[in-house]
Amino acid sequence: MGIISWIILGLIAGALAKWLMPGDDGGGWIATILLGVVGAFVGGWVGSFIGLGPATGVNIGSLITATFGALIVLFVYNKFIR
């Protein structure tokens, strides 16, 4: 998956995660993209660990995996770092 695909997937997954988990998270578009890209890595790792598979491109399965990972990252950020 190319860098442009990771950015697009990260933007969508990060925005979905921030929309699904309400709260005052701050950050702009760059933070949302980074949240989504890190979430794609975390979601891919968790998905491959439990047998669902990693994020492999901009498709529905990868979007769900990346959003799940972004929710995990956002939860950890809100609970432990903030």
Ordered per-residue pLDDT tens for the chain, 82 residues: 677 877 788 888 888 888 888 777 666 777 777 887 888 788 777 877 877 666 667 778 778 888 888 888 888 888 887 6
From 45, 39, 46, select the one nearest 16 (Cα to Cα): 39
d(CA 10, CA 64): 11
| Cβ contact 20:64 at 8 Å | no
The letter for the amino acid at 22 is P
Model confidence, pTM: 0.78
